[in-house]
Amino acid sequence: MNSIDIIIVAIWLVITFLAGFLPGFLTDFEGFWLNNKKTKTAFLVFTIVATQVGGGTIIGIASSTYKDGLGFGIVALASTFVGFILIGLFAPLIKNLSNKINAYTLSEIIGYYYGRSAQRICGIIILLAYFSLLAGQIVAATTLINVWSGVSFETALWFSGTSMIIYCAYAGLKGDIVSDTFHFWGKVVFYFLIFLPILLYKENIGQLLSHLSFNMVSPLRFGGYSYLIAGTLFGAIIPLVSMELWMRIFASENSQDAKKAYIISAFTIIPFYVFPMLLGLMSLTTLPEIDNSDKVLMLNFLKYLPNGVLGLGIASLFSVTIGAANTLVVVLSATFYKDILRRGDEKNGKKELQYSRIITLFIGIVGIAFALALPNIVQLIINAFFGISIIFPPLFYGFVSKKKLNSYSGIISLSLGFILIVIFIPILHNQAFVPGLLGSIFGLIIGNLINKKVIKNV
């Protein structure tokens, strides 16, 4: 570690900490969770993109491309792009309904349609899924520190995890949006105005890519045709059931701002997904023997960046990982707080804000435990996406029906879909979302039949 790099990393992290900590520390109850519903279009774009393209995403796509070709990256990009367009189109409906019932969480929307039991089941599913996503961000930060500093993986994990949860307990969504603006522009400057020009100057990228065989880059290596096709089609529903994206809509000043923000974000994320895919492919030639593919991005930093610039890259990646982790912690805390504990007395805002911070600390500790249990970024991300995908059928059915529905449909749909996901992950691996989605759809049908029978008997 060079002293210049250490100083740059320290300064950057202090700025990140203050940018998130101060607004969050000085806010009230609604500000902590929803930025007082006053977020404008530009800031929505900054926080949406900064959250979507966290350290786990960048490291995960580069890692998967290096190890298993372009499949994971292509599906992630295509599904996110389409998903952002779709959620943008649905944003006015989501915003209006959330204002109507004063929703803080996605599960509360499910509860509106199917009742409290379904809301709680949905909350449990979101908790399990987002713990995996949070663990992915912690592992990403841990890998960064481990490769750069040489300290053990476990020591780096506890350091990165602890610093994240302390930060998250005070930033909240208000602080997250402020710091995400800093993270967004930091990523733009570093990756596309500094790192990419250095790569173009030092390497003939076209020549490097020409040395790769089709098998090395093939998108079919990561799950075959079934994952590539079904993952792209069904993966687009992931943004529609991603609570961190819903919370941005809840926090928006109005529905049109939310709609514009997601459509703009759909195009803005493209270069952030393409760049790590390019880096993963390059590394097959420039770094042919890596023991852990999660180290691809960091090893490229060490290979190409001079002192000072290296510190800027490490600081940028680490801070944006903290920012993404903060968003996930806010989602987890809000879900646990509103859907499991069913707290939320806004009239006693100061007391509830204290409870919110305590819950956030607890959530962060559990996230560290998840990271220790499964320190694999790509697998953590996939597990999470599979889990939340089964929320889509009952949610979509509720929006189409435009009325409150029977509780059986919501309970059976969510429970059956989740059980099938858990059963089939070790069997079908990257295609396990298919039986989960089918089970969720079938559960709606079963629930409606049971409800008709109950009504008939009455």
CA neighbor of 130 nearest in space, from 325, 390, 338: 325
Check if the beta carbon of residue 265 is closer than 8 Å to that of residue 52: yes
Beta-bridged to residue 9, according to DSSP, are none
Q: Which amino acid is at 407?
A: S
Statement: the pTM of the whole predicted model exceeds 0.95: no
**pLDDT tens readout for residues 445-456:** 998 888 888 777
Q: Give me the sign of the Cα torsion angle 384, 386, 389, 394.
A: negative
Judge whether 307 and 4 are in contact, CB under 8 Å. yes
Q: How confident is the model at residue 41 (pLDDT cuts 50, 70, 90)?
A: very high
Helix (H) or strand (E) holding 88: helix 71-101
Give the angle 224-140-154 at the CA atoms, nearest 5°: 120
Q: Which CATH architecture has domain 3-379?
A: Up-down Bundle (1.20)
Residue 17 tokens read as 């900490």
Distance CA(299)–CA(286), nearest Å, equals 10
Q: What is the pLDDT of residue 163?
A: 67
Query: Domain segments of the chain: what residues?
Result: 3-379, 390-458
Least confident of 34-43, 60-69, 378-387: 378-387
- The CB density around residue 255, as the number of other CB atoms within 10 Å, is 17
Amino acid at 138: I
Contact 50, 285 (CB under 8 A): no
Average pLDDT, the chain: 80
Q: In this predicted model, what pLDDT tens digit does every residue of 205-215 receive, in sequence order?
A: 888 888 888 88
pLDDT, greater one: 237 or 285: 285
Q: What is the gyration radius of the CA atoms in the chain, in angstroms?
A: 22
Task: Output the pLDDT for position 25.
Answer: 66
441: left (phi over 0), alpha (psi -120 to 50) or beta: alpha
